[in-house]
Amino acid sequence: MVEQILDFLIPAAYAQQGGPGPGQPAWLPLIWLAFIPAIFFLMIRPQMKRNKELKQMSENLAKGDEIVTGGGLAGRITGIGEVYLTVEIADGVQVKVQKSAVGSVLPKGTLKSL
């Protein structure tokens, strides 16, 4: 009784003949082995390029640059440390943010128009 239930729930596995099926070339799996890593490389490449641009922008920050952080704060850099920036977001209001939090550098004079 138990064997019949197990046979019903778990069908018997039969060995299949290996190799390509009829009409399928033997080199087709090799093409897939080359194609899949190429697709992954093409998907990762834009992110690597963006990271490189962000790193370069972070290294080129200077006192007086106008920036926008990832959180949306806009201000002018008043001090630069190794990891942190001091940013003036209003007259007399300064905050410290990480360099990695800088989303973009604004053109000079943008803060006056905000």
Residues of the chain with pLDDT under 50: none
Domain boundaries, the chain: 28-113
Cα separation values, 39 from 25, 33, 48, Å: 22, 11, 15
Question: Strand locations in the chain, DSSP E?
Answer: 66-69, 74-80, 84-90, 93-98, 102-106
Q: What is the pLDDT of residue 15?
A: 56
Nearest to 80 by CA among 60, 106, 104: 60
As a whole number of Å, the end-to-end CA separation of the chain is: 80
Q: Which CATH code fits 28-113? A: 2.30.30.60
The structure's pTM equals: 0.62
Q: What is the pLDDT of residue 64?
A: 94
Q: Tens digits of per-residue pLDDT, 48-80?
A: 999 999 899 999 999 999 999 999 999 999 999
